Amino acid sequence: MDLLNTLVDKGLRRELPTREEALAVLATPDDELLDVVAAAGKVRRQWFGRRVKLNYLVNLKSGLCPEDCSYCSQRLGSKAEILKYTWLKPDEASKAAAAGVAGGAKRVCLVASGRGPTDRDVDRVSQTIEAIKEQNEGVEVCACLGLLSDGQADRLRSAGADAYNHNLNTSEGTYGEITTTHTYADRVETVHQAQAAGLSACSGLIAGMGESDADLVDVVFALRELDPDSVPVNFLIPFEGTPLAKEWNLTPQRCLRILAMVRFVCPDVEVRLAGGREVHLRSMQPLALHLVNSIFLGDYLTSEGQAGQTDLDMIADAGFEVEGAGTTTLPGHRVDAGGGCGSHVGGCAPCGDGPEAETAPAEPVLAEADGDRAARTDLVTVRRRGAGTDLAPNA
């Protein structure tokens, strides 16, 4: 395909595709899906070889959030039966992080629900960062605490944080339909604050919330302009008890097209396969490794992922290798340009949350029932182990 040849050439030169080209990737038919994956895979291998970076989530404070983000099981008014607990003590968080590091994780992502941290919260997280780094040499730490106030990013950096995650989630034009308690501009400003403090910026999106192809392209182009070091791609986990519980709009094929589009637009950035991969990609997860160079290991904030050993087996069986702690994640030109965490030796999501004018409707996963798509409760398992419980974590 001329389109794919053009996109590969641009990706190898780090040249931005046109919006029309990005939209065309999302509109490719299933018969051409393997061609799309192969093309984007060439770009992925150019900048990241066959390495896969492992990241591990620790939910420092679960539930009871005052924000109304429609996709989130921790939101104000959520009826999702998730774990709810207040702040983990630094030693508890460090113990949880150690399980992920032992499983091969190179980065630990510390997440807390809420609009944003108080100064006391920053002190608490700073102590946690110090405890984790003291006990896990060389580990990267990414914080995800919501909207930042002046000076808080600097304090986190001084405490040893390497990165900060704050996702854009969806396009600016549709953001108000998803969240009303803060704005898209608030999110952009927090990413700018993290970058100004010398933290590596981690910012991504959530697909599958009923957005159009144009919305997906808008948010990915906005991320390219924002220039984070890592871009997590989340696929909506439709929790029962949230406003988007019946938004089952994704198929494995569509997820792969979205990941390929992100790779073409952000060729030399750490593209992370984040929340919802088990739910929506299912048996086609190994194909996604040809598009992304980073995944979360084990469980997520409020839902369970597949077994950590299964993740490791999948990576090995697909012919990829886990990125070691002594390996530089980002390509050299990004390191030379001052890239942050992950772009140096030693030492971001669905962190905290944790996007289509379609040429054809997205294929439903199930037939409609009573006028609505039936919820796939069999695919979503609420986390009952790890942080905030007495059970061993999945790593």
Q: Round to whole Å and give the CA distance between 177 and 201.
A: 25
| pLDDT per residue as tens digits for the range 122-136 | 999 999 999 999 999
Quick one: pLDDT at residue 387?
A: 79
Marked catalytic residue, from 44, 51, 75, 142: 142
Q: What are phi and psi of 328, to 5 degrees?
A: -75, 125
CB 293 within 8 A of CB 320: no
For residue 39, pLDDT beyond 70: yes
- Please say if the pLDDT value at position 325 is more than 90: no
Mean pLDDT of 325-340: 81
Helix (H) or strand (E) run with residue 80 in it:
none
Handedness of CA 328, 329, 333, 338 (dihedral sign): negative
Highest mean pLDDT pick, 227-236, 326-335, 343-352: 227-236
Torsional class of 346: left (φ above 0), alpha (ψ -120 to 50), beta (otherwise): left
Q: Is 348 a catalytic residue?
A: no
Identified catalytic residue from 107, 157, 257, 272: 272
Nearest to 265 by CA among 11, 46, 1: 11
pLDDT at 384: 67
Write out the CATH class of domain 14-379: alpha beta
Straight-line distance from the first to the last Cα atom of the chain, in angstroms, rounded to the nearest whole number = 41
pLDDT mean over 340-346: 37
pLDDT at 347 over 70: no
Given 109, 255, 341, 348, the catalytic residue: 109
Beta partners for 235?
Answer: 207
Residue range 382-394: mean pLDDT, rounded: 76
The CA distance from 313 to 315, in Å, is: 5
Measuring CA to CA, which residue among 33, 85, 65 is closest to residue 284? 33
Model pLDDT, residue 394: 79
Q: Tell me what the mean pLDDT of segment 3-10 comes to.
A: 98
Phi-psi region of 38 (alpha: psi -120 to 50; beta: other; left: phi over 0): alpha
Are 257 and 32 spatial neighbours (Cβ–Cβ below 8 Å)? no
User: Tens digit of pLDDT for each residue in 126-177?
Assistant: 999 999 999 998 899 999 999 999 999 999 999 999 999 999 999 999 999 9
Domain borders along the chain are 14-379
**Of 35-49, 77-91, 187-201, 330-344, the least confident:** 330-344
Dig out the tokens for 39 from the structure.
Answer: 């093309």
For 190-219, what is the mean pLDDT?
Answer: 97
Give the pLDDT band of residue 300 (cuts 50, 70, 90).
confident
Mean pLDDT value of segment 75-100: 85
pLDDT confidence bin for 391, thresholds 50/70/90: confident
Which pLDDT belongs to residue 357?
30
Q: Residue 57: is its pLDDT beyond 70? A: yes
Mean pLDDT taken over the chain:
87
Give the whole-angstrom CA distance, residue 231 versus residue 165.
9
The confidence score (pLDDT) of residue 62 equals: 84
Q: Which of 51, 69, 254, 351 is catalytic?
A: 69
Region 266-282 average pLDDT: 96
Lowest mean pLDDT among 30-34, 98-102, 254-258, 391-395: 391-395
Distances (CA, A) of 185 to 56, 65, 116, 208: 28, 20, 15, 22
The whole-angstrom distance between residue 21's C-alpha and the CA centroid of its chain comes to 24
Is 202 known to be catalytic?
yes
Is residue 281 classed as helix, strand or coil in its secondary structure? coil
The verdict on whether 109 is a catalytic residue reads yes
Average pLDDT score over residue span 310-332: 94
pLDDT at 70: 87
Higher pLDDT, 374 or 78: 78
Query: What's the pLDDT at 338?
Result: 64
Tokens of 189: 């400003």
Q: Residue 368: is its pLDDT beyond 60?
A: no
Residue 364 reports pLDDT greater than 80: no
Helices (H), 241-331: 252-265, 277-280, 285-288, 308-317
Rounded to 10 deg, the angle between the 33-48 and 2-12 helix axes is 10
pTM above 0.85, yes or no: yes
Three-state SS for 215-239 is HHHHHHHHHHHHCCCEEEEEECCCC
Q: Is the pLDDT of residue 353 over 60?
A: no
* Residue with the larger pLDDT of the pair 233 and 346: 233
